[in-house]
Amino acid sequence: MLRRFTLLAAGAAALLAACTAEPADTAADLPATVAAPGVATAPDSAAAAESIRRVLATQTAAWNRGDVSGFMQGYWQSDSLLFIGKSGPTRGWQRTLDNYRRNYPSPEAMGQLTFSRLRISPVGADAAHVVGHWHLARPQKGDLQGWFTLLFRRLNGQWVIVADHSS
């Protein structure tokens, strides 16, 4: 029994060492940019990130003037839009708009929105993953804040949010 345990432990240690060993190629041996087929290169990534920042800035401006419909222009106008919030998943642009209107019925309830700590990561030539922090300053109702993950796609030449998980 002890011999079997010793062999098993030795095998597990060897497997662990093999899994954690440094690969033969280190980061210093690789080119600075490695693009998979269809993945945006650095200049394309910078342009995509700037376009996505503009969408978010336009959304923020619309929200801060109490324009929920304007805010929603940053989303894919499709029944396939996915929004996940505290109440669970919602599918569809119109249902998402209706939920926003129900949950934020007035400019006081909406407050002033800011996005921060944005990390925009391309996941292809026409897609990007965005992680960030949102904050609603609402003096009368109390501030709200949380984190979001967005999936942007470039559809018909425009960057739009196709999935949003906000908490």
pLDDT digits (tens, 9 = 90+) for 149-163: 999 999 999 999 999
Res 32 pLDDT > 60: no
Closest CA to 132 of 159, 161, 158: 161
Query: What does pTM read for this prediction?
Result: 0.75
In a domain, 29, yes or no: no
Has residue 160 been placed in a domain? Answer: yes
Number of domains in the chain: 1
Would 24 be classed as within a structural domain? no
Does residue 35 lie in a domain region? no
The CATH number of the domain holding residue 134 is: 3.10.450.50
Answer yes or no: is 10 within a domain: no
Enclosing domain of residue 114: 42-166
**Residue 26 forms part of a structural domain:** no
Is 151 part of a structural domain of the chain?
yes
Task: Average the pLDDT over each of 29-33, 61-65, 134-138 and give the range with the smallest value.
Answer: 29-33
Q: Examine residue 123 and state whether it is found in any structural domain, yes or no.
A: yes
Cα–Cα separations (whole angstroms), residue 37 to 22, 50, 126: 26, 22, 12
Give the contacts of 69 (CB within 8 A, at least 6 positions apart): 62, 97
